[in-house]
Amino acid sequence: MSAAPVPASRTRSPGPGTDAPLLRVTGAVKRFSGLTALDGADLALAAGEVLGLIGPNGSGKTTLVNCVSGALRIDEGEIRLGGRDITRASRARRAKSGIARTFQNLKLFGELTVRENVLVGLNASSGASSLEEVEGLLRSLRLEEVAREIVSTLSYGTQRRVEIARALAGDPRVLLLDEPAAGLNDGETAELKELIHEIRSERGCGVLVIDHDMNLVLGISDRVQVLDEGKVIYEGAPQEAFKQPRVVAAYLGAE
């Protein structure tokens, strides 16, 4: 897989090391009629960084991704991308300014082909991407063989790759992966790990990875953040996370 590099075209703003992170969420609060899914959560993601977001079921991880991608609006707090306030920006605006995502439950355009799915992703690009780039993406994600197949007829693992290809087609600055390894076998998970490394190193994207596979998350992340009941209870080195009594308690309490 590493033979064909993941193409990238947008010239990048400075990577990690610059003071302002690429994506910054401060004090995000999201309520669903009585239930507070996010309770003052913060998040910072730098360009070229892989951040793992973990936490028990229902702790608000997907909600946080939805708020960043614009599928949901936060009730309080602020979201900034590259210094610009995007708290009130529409979903389409956020996509065009470089936020791409995948979904916990696959959301592919089922009646369209693999190539068409990826072409729609191109819509989010700032215009620099081209059709050749789509072909390059299909190749690097091993999708060229099935490019003309209707996506709903393909295996689950392949569909997961299509979703990532679609997100990458918009040449994003921030990539939000919501449980990308769910439903994958060991071989596919190893492949995914390598892919995330490539995306980070060759595209300079900031990548947020949510997953319940701790081997995966702790293995690929530069940093992790643990959510519990909508609050950040740990932020720091991956190896240290499960040495924190609060984190262990959150996971045990959720059993």
Ligand X SMILES: Nc1ncnc2c1ncn2[C@@H]1O[C@H](COP(=O)(O)OP(=O)(O)OP(=O)(O)O)[C@@H](O)[C@H]1O
Identify the CA nearest to 164 among candidates 133, 200, 137: 137
Residue 123 binds which one of other proteins, ligand X, Mg ion, none, with CB within 5 to 8 A depending on kind? other proteins
Identify the CA nearest to 119 among candidates 180, 176, 165: 165
Asked if 112 is part of the footprint of other proteins (rule: CB under 8 A), the reply reads: yes
Shortest reach from residue 115's CB to other proteins, in Å: 7
Residue 73 binds which one of Mg ion, ligand X, other proteins, none, with CB within 5 to 8 A depending on kind? none
C-alpha 3/C-alpha 21 separation (Å) is 31
Number of other CB atoms surrounding residue 169 within 10 Å: 23
Asked if 206 is part of the footprint of other proteins (rule: CB under 8 A), the reply reads: no
Number of H helices and number of E strands within the chain? 9, 10
Identify the CA nearest to 151 among candidates 137, 166, 169, 139: 166
Q: Identify the residue among 59, 102, 125, 189 touching ligand X (CB under 6 A).
A: 59
Binding track, positions 165-184, relative to ligand X; x by CB under 6 A: --------------------
Q: Identify the residue among 49, 60, 62, 134 touching Mg ion (CB under 5 A).
A: 62
Residues 33-52 that bind ligand X (CB under 6 A): 35, 37
| C-beta of residue 24 within 8 angstroms of C-beta of residue 43 | yes
Residue 100 vs residues 46, 85, 200, 202, 204: alpha-carbon distances, Å: 15, 17, 14, 17, 14
Residues 150-189 that bind other proteins (CB under 8 A): 150, 153, 166, 170
Residue 250 binds which one of other proteins, ligand X, Mg ion, none, with CB within 5 to 8 A depending on kind? none
Binding track, positions 62-81, relative to ligand X; x by CB under 6 A: xx------------------
The beta strands (E) that lie in the chain are given as: 23-32, 35-45, 50-54, 76-81, 84-85, 99-101, 174-178, 206-210, 223-228, 231-236
Stretch that binds other proteins, among 38-46, 50-58, 123-131, 219-227 (CB under 8 A): 123-131
Q: Which positions touch other proteins (CB under 8 A)?
A: 69-71, 91-92, 95-96, 100-101, 103, 107-113, 115-117, 119-121, 123-124, 131, 148-150, 153, 166, 170
